Chains A and B, each alone.
Chain A
Amino acid sequence: MTDRKHRILAVSSSGGHWKQLMLLSDAFEGSEVWFACTDARQGIRYELANFVAIEDYSQDEPLKMLKGLYGTFRILRRIRPDVVLSTGAAPGLLCLLWGRVFGARTIWVDSIANSEGLSLSGRLAQRIAHLVLTQWEHLATETGAQYRGSII
């Protein structure tokens, strides 16, 4: 057991996913946190010390996802986080996958935008992540995801 801080990789796509990740960033206090976003400019905007830009793609783009699989592998191999947390979407999911492979604890927080059901990424995350959270109380029983609060 070492006394180094927990290292977290917090990853999301740009836009709403990223805003939600930023709203949750108080949860990373006291840990060494690395942020990854599909919008390279967000690192400067939020003055993040540890930031990596990642490629953007959706589940509709299998070729790009395949490339993303390699990109996220390299990031995970380099950072070697203890915890990987994502608010979405596809690139975050791939980071969780590699996080799992590398032995990290993996957490998916499904976007508040999904009030009808888990997102497709969220449903896939249920096969990968240690913990999958929904931000809608009524979805917790339906989907098997847990509800532990929401950003609004």
Chain B
Amino acid sequence: MIFLTLGTQLPFDRLVRALDEVSTSLSEPVFGQIGHAKYRPGNFESVKFLSPQEFDAHCTAARVIVGHAGIGTILTGMELHKPVVLMARQAALGEHRNNHQLATVAQLSRISGIHVVDDAKSLREALADPELAPITMESSPARDQLVASLRQEITGHAY
């Protein structure tokens, strides 16, 4: 199953439309949490919002998670060791207030298992790969460093 998730704040019709176009050529079902999207996909089932539990269940069941370049999507893929396919929202297309998702994608695309697409063609290529690589980063020295520093900030001061 391919699971599309779009966050809960802003619509992202470009990605819904691209996946709608691609889904007819896929041999597996697609399900989408499409939020405030105005475009209604005709070729796969979708809902506006899922509860956190339903969301987790869909992510767990999915072979591939497709989403906007929101950090929530990336972290979910990381936790569940799934391949994550991302399209960045662009401010010029009215998809976000600024272009921070483009910068995020530029830096995160170096992480194995994060697959960046920008149109239906590249989305189709990613989803057609039966062995699309999952995110493999389990532990992170940078996270350990941050946690240790915060712990010191929290307990190391006199009140």
| Chain A residues engaging chain B, CB cutoff 8 angstroms | 6, 8, 14-16, 19-20, 23-24, 26-31, 39, 41-42, 45, 58, 82-83, 85, 105, 107, 109, 111-117, 131, 133, 135-136, 148-152
Contact = CB atoms under 8 A, between A and B. Distances in A.
Interface of B: 7-9, 51-53, 70-72, 74-76, 78, 98-101, 103-104, 106-107, 111, 137, 140, 142-151, 153-155, 157, 159
Contacts of B70: 15-16, 113
B151 A27 contact: yes
Contacts of B111: 152
Nearest to A135: B146
B155 A6 contact: yes
Contact of B142 (A42, A109, A133, A152): A152
Contact of A24 (B51, B107, B137, B150): B150
Contacts of A31: 154-155
A31 B157 CA distance: 13
- How would you classify the secondary structure of chain A's contact residues: helix, strand, loop or mixed? loop
A148 B71 contact: no
A152 B78 CA distance: 9
A115 B104 contact: yes
Contacts of B106: 115
A41 B159 contact: no
24 contacts: A6-B159, A8-B154, A15-B71, A19-B71, A20-B71, A24-B147, A26-B147, A27-B150, A27-B154, A28-B154, A30-B155, A41-B51, A105-B153, A105-B157, A107-B153, A109-B146, A112-B71, A115-B106, A115-B107, A131-B153, A148-B150, A149-B146, A151-B140, A152-B137
